Amino acid sequence: MTVDKIPIGKFSEITRLSKKALYCYEKKGLLVPVQKDICTGYRYYTPLQIEKGIWIKALSALGFSLDEIEVITGPGDKNCIEVREMMSRRLNCIRDEIERLKMAEKVLSSEDPFGELFKMELLNWKVKEIPPLRVIAIRGHGPYNEIVGELIGRLCAEAATVPNTGGQMKVTGPVMTIYEGDECDDFGGSLEVALPVSGPVTLSDPDILLRTLPGGKALTVIHKGSYSKLGMAHKKVFDYINENGLNTCGTGRELYLNDPSNTPEEDLLTEIQYPLED
């Protein structure tokens, strides 16, 4: 006897998808039953839909969104550029999560979790003159940990365009973030990312500007370690400023002195700068 219709309960058992999930996928148009009973509203699926249900279950477990799953399980080529890019982005997210979990495991398994949580090295405390810097810069607003990377990527892409790499433009210092401290809310705040440059600059991104950052006297310190601990590092800088009777006169900067893509987290170096009154 052939099977051409599978009741939702049996389909749920086969695919390991709950009825609640199946109702959600139906509403999304991702996995629609072939028949609904007019009187009871009971749903029926076909054997051909089992494979798609299993795909959805597997992709959901990997963390893909329903919109992404719709593309991957659609009629197109599963090896197309769009799908490969989705896979690459998901892999990067998973790697970031693995690093976060490793750090959490290290903290929670230590004898002094709170000490380990805020452990850091602050090196080379100095008050020094910072020269004015000619930079290409871009502003953004949102969750700091999300938009900093995006804005840095846009700046680096601009610096790498043919008119700039083929001309006389040169990058003259590390990329930096300037925290403006305005319009902060529960979701983040405003900041500017800047990259020091010299020579002629060609700008194609309308959000990127060429400008000069002011120089002057500043308190500087090198933070060694994970970017996740920079908040506590700024707190210690404020403590130092208050303990030594210094007066700040502007917004702080973070200069990223090495590349996080090829540097162990514990060896990341960030210079924190706060301008001081003369």
Question: What share of the chain has pLDDT > 90, as a percent?
Answer: 50
Q: Confirm whether 80 is domain-assigned.
A: no
Asked whether residue 98 is assigned to any structural domain, the reply reads: no
Section 81-105 average pLDDT: 85
Which pLDDT does position 184 carry in this prediction?
47
Contacts of 139 (CB under 8 A, 6+ apart): 180, 190, 191, 192, 207
For 25-80, write each residue's pLDDT tens digit.
999 899 999 888 887 888 999 998 999 999 999 999 999 998 899 888 887 777 78
Nearest to 273 by CA among 98, 133, 70, 134: 133
DSSP alpha helix (H) spans, the chain: 8-15, 19-28, 48-61, 66-72, 81-108, 113-117, 144-159, 162-165, 230-243
Q: What is the pTM of this model?
A: 0.64
Examine the domain organization and report whether 178 and 264 are in the same domain: yes
pLDDT at 2 over 60: no
Q: What's the pLDDT at 114?
A: 73
Q: Is residue 113 part of a domain?
A: no
Q: Please indicate, yes or no, if residue 86 is contained in any of the structural domains.
A: no
SS3 123: strand
Does position 89 have pLDDT exceeding 60, yes or no? yes
Sign of CA dihedral 148, 150, 151, 156: positive
The verdict on 122 and 62 lying in the same domain is no
Of 51, 38, 39, the residue nearest 6 (C-alpha): 51
Q: Which two tokens stand for residue 218?
A: 């500043």
| Structural domain count of the chain | 2
Mean pLDDT score, 142-167: 87
Dist CA 228 CA 272 (whole Å): 14
Same domain, 66 and 122: no
Q: What's the distance, CA 122 to chain centroid?
A: 25
Q: Count of residues for the chain?
A: 278
- Determine the structural domain holding residue 163 and report its residue range: 118-275
SS3 263: coil
**Beta strand pairing status for 43-45 and 121-130?**
unpaired
Give the C-alpha distances (Å, rounded to integers) separating 137 from 203, 207, 213, 243, 272. 11, 8, 10, 33, 18
Contact criterion met (CB below 8 Å) for 52 and 28: no
- Among 72, 104, 126, the domain-final residue is 72
- Mean pLDDT, range 177-192, rounded to an integer: 69
Residue 177 in any domain: the answer is yes
176 within domain boundaries: yes
Note whether residue 150 is domain-resident.
yes
- 67 and 125 assigned to the same domain: no
Claim to verify: residue 38 and residue 131 sit in the same structural domain: no
List, as own/partner pairs, every contact residues 238-241 make where C-beta atoms lie below 8 angstroms and the sequence separation is at least 24, other chains included: 240/125, 241/274
What integer pLDDT is reported at residue 73 of this predicted model? 86
Q: What pLDDT shows up at residue 261? A: 84
Query: What is the pLDDT, as a whole number, of residue 188?
Result: 63
Max Cα-Cα span within the chain: 91
185 part of a folded domain: yes
Residues 40 and 152 in one domain: no
Please write the tens of the pLDDT for every residue from 115-136.
Answer: 666 667 899 999 999 999 999 9
Report the pLDDT value the prediction gives residue 181, as an integer from 0 to 100: 61
Helix (H, G, I), strand (E, B) or coil at 216: strand
27 or 106, which is more confident = 27
Q: Please name the residues in contact with 138: beta carbons below 8 A apart, sequence gap of 6 or more.
A: 151, 154, 155, 192, 193, 194, 205, 207, 208, 209
Per-residue confidence band for 3, with pLDDT thresholds at 50, 70 and 90: low
Confidence band, pLDDT 50/70/90 cuts, at residue 185: very low
The predicted pLDDT at position 95 comes to 84
